[in-house]
Chain A
Amino acid sequence: MSVAIASTGLTKFGRRNEGLIELLVEAGREALEGAPASARRPDCVVVGSMAAGALAGLESLVPRVANGLGLAGLPGWRVESASATGAGAFQLGAHLVASSAFERVLVLAGEKMTAQATGSTTTALARSLSANEVRHGATMPSMASLLSQLYLARYHLSIEDVAEVTVRNRACAQGNPKAQFPSAVTAAQVNESRMVSSPLRLLHVSAISDGAGAVLLTRPSSRESVVVRGMGQATDVLEVASRPMEPLGFRATRQAARAAYDQAGVGRKEVQTSEVHDAFAPFQLIDLEDLGFCGPGEGLAWTRAGRGDPNGVLPVNPSGGLLGRGHPVGVSGLAQIIEVDRQLRGEAGRMQAGSPRVGLAQSVGGLGSHNFVTILGREQSA
């Protein structure tokens, strides 16, 4: 694809005093101010938010953001793909540039989650589940718990084993100035944290958070830049219990990954850095398997062997992931892409893990019903 990332912006995640639009504008301004002078005026805007109406009391985000950035008059679209919204917004923006419909597309994603009580937020997030699941009072954590139990039972793992994921990701988050939780935790702390949806505990679950991100997409210049090499996405049957379950994991991730690898012309062994969707700690193990980083049931052993560590063969979530960074649901997919971009540029600061030239971001929408994979590369354009 002939699409390059000109610049990015990312707010600090966590409980923020600002409203949704202020957060989006903060991220958008950082991206525009970081762009080459010739690219600072986008000709289109794409705005992602999963639940702005329910969580922030706002709709009609595109004109609000365009107004806030002093860009009234811009055309634009809003994107919603549950917890993969940010990835969906990015991919739409990339398609708009690749198709030559627009030259410079500013992609933004934001979520304001902390203004509501936890029960209200949980209810709003559950609207991405099937009607039958909602009728039973299911929520994202409860469905994640049930699916995680199937995974753990299949591969004879215990929930205590999974603390490894949180411990590792929180250690990485210590180097991330934008992270909600830039502090280490021990396995004992994970396994003794309060129960959210048994057996998932608080420190197995990514946190409700506020934040925003922005990416300015352009055509590649003649100098070396970070470009979009491949993208894939897929949907799945909404009702989790009705899906084909073999192999156990997210079929939509596997389909998205296949499409992205094919378009990028790379195999999984050429990926040198990654951000994967660890909204719930067991999901990171499932993600590793769905992406082909390891075989079915090998996610924990692969992790324990250090293969995904910052100095491992394929760093996974060197930013701290959703568990460390926080999970403002509509933003995380875009934040992952921004983190991969910064790794490829060598601008990740204390998070920098080697000198990667190919990176992958994977995002799960809802309970795996709309998933995205995006592959970026650092290369010289023709």
Chain B
Amino acid sequence: MITVFVCSGCGLHFPSDEIRRCPECGGTLSAKELEGRGRVAAATELSVPPEGWAAPHRLVLAQVDGGGLLLALATSGTPEVGSTGRLVRRPEGQLSWQGDG
């Protein structure tokens, strides 16, 4: 399960509550538990990552069931767009994509 934060006013989803208030409408954010299953909407492999990250560095935008789009790390290759899997929260706070199969 992963936790996302949903605005009570406009319904936008956010990956964390560090912003405290919805940047769209100022509404309060409430936690929502999701199974984290979804589908890859986009994926990229970056050849020159920022300092502190090793190349190749891979990211996905996952369309999560009931939770909108979420950014996540892809640690096992670059997943195909449209492939299914689930997101898990790492101890460091990032989301990580785990593809099915």
Residue positions of A touching B, CB distance < 8 A: 118-120, 122-123, 126, 131-133, 135-139, 141-142, 145-147, 149-150, 153, 194-200, 237-245
| Chain B, interface residues (CB within 8 Å), range | 35 or more
Shortest distance between the CB of B36 and any CB in chain A (Å) = 15
CB nearest neighbor in B for A137: B53
Alpha-carbon gap, A138 to B69, bound state (A): 15
Alpha-carbon gap, A132 to B69, bound state (A): 13
**Residue among A135, A145, A153, A243 making CB contact with B44, cutoff 8 Å:** A145
Q: Is the CB of B48 within 8 A of A122?
A: yes
Q: Is the CB of A139 within 8 A of B23?
A: no
Residues of B within 8 A of A145 (CB): 42, 44, 46
CB nearest neighbor in B for A139: B50
Alpha-carbon gap, A200 to B45, bound state (A): 10
Alpha-carbon gap, A126 to B50, bound state (A): 8
22 pairs from A and B in contact (CB 8 Å cutoff): A118-B48, A119-B48, A119-B51, A131-B18, A132-B16, A132-B18, A135-B92, A135-B93, A136-B59, A136-B72, A139-B49, A141-B46, A146-B60, A149-B42, A149-B44, A149-B81, A197-B44, A197-B47, A199-B44, A239-B23, A240-B71, A241-B15
Which applies to chain A's interface (DSSP): helix, strand, loop or mixed?
helix
> Which residues of chain B from 69 to 101 have any CB-CB distance to chain A below 8 Å in the complex?
69-73, 78, 81, 92-95
Residues of A within 8 A of B59 (CB): 136-138, 142, 146
Residue positions of B touching A, CB distance < 8 A: 12-16, 18-19, 23-24, 41-53, 57, 59-61, 68-73, 78, 81, 92-95
Residues of B within 8 A of A194 (CB): 47
CB nearest neighbor in B for A145: B44
Shortest distance between the CB of B45 and any CB in chain A (Å) = 5
Residues of A within 8 A of B46 (CB): 137, 139, 141-142, 145, 196-197
Residues of B within 8 A of A147 (CB): 42
Q: Is the CB of A137 within 8 A of B49?
A: yes
Residues of B within 8 A of A122 (CB): 48-50
CB nearest neighbor in B for A144: B44
Q: Is the CB of A146 within 8 A of B61?
A: yes
Alpha-carbon gap, A358 to B34, bound state (A): 51
Q: Is the CB of B23 within 8 A of A237?
A: yes
CB nearest neighbor in B for A369: B23
**Given pairs A135-B94, A139-B50, A150-B41, 4 additional interface contacts (CB within 8 A):** A136-B59, A137-B53, A147-B42, A153-B81
**Residue among B14, B16, B50, B95 making CB contact with A119, cutoff 8 Å:** B50
